[in-house]
Amino acid sequence: MSQSSGEKLIANNKKAYHDYFIDEECEAGIELFGTEVKSIRMGKCSIKESYVRIKNGEAVILGMNVSPYEMGNIFNKDPLRTRKLLLHKTEIRKLDRAVLTEGYTIVPLRVYLKKGLVKVAIGLARGKKLYDKRESIAKKDAKRAAERDFKVRLR
């Protein structure tokens, strides 16, 4: 997400990359009220514990926390309410089929602003086993050590 492409990152779900293999990504709009949009623009949004479900042919995000807008008074909504994701019917069917037949999970990866609109990147994910998590941690540690050694040699 770079500033040159007109996108501003609001929330990132690092836990999703740690707990899952992300096989496919897609972008979805999200149905929000005015005070929620203002709160998200201020960066008060969390998707750490959230997940996506397909209910009655509609994709919804559950557990997404959008803090109440300070100056919103009576117009503020419940911070953890269920929000509808805006996807094409074919995309919803494809995601639903993957979840039901192939055992995938749909997880939100990041929330960002794109051309003034709030978007959510969602991923089709397979769960990692404990040994997969250990392996990815070991790879990260090895990469960090190699970079550190490289910096020391340059001096």
pLDDT in the model for residue 32: 87
In this prediction, residue 1 has a pLDDT band, given cuts at 50, 70 and 90, of very low
Alpha-carbon distance 28 to 123, whole Å? 10
Alpha-carbon distance 21 to 124, whole Å? 8
Give me the residue spans of the domains in the chain: 7-128
- pLDDT above 70 as % of the chain: 93
Write the pLDDT tens digit of every residue in 134-144: 888 888 888 88
Alpha-carbon distance 69 to 150, whole Å? 46
Q: Which CATH superfamily is domain 7-128 in?
A: Small protein B (2.40.280.10)
Q: What is the mean pLDDT of the chain?
A: 86
The CA–CA distances, whole Å, from 17 to 21, 48, 53, 91, 105 equal: 7, 11, 19, 22, 13
Q: Is the Cβ–Cβ distance between 113 and 7 less than 8 Å?
A: yes
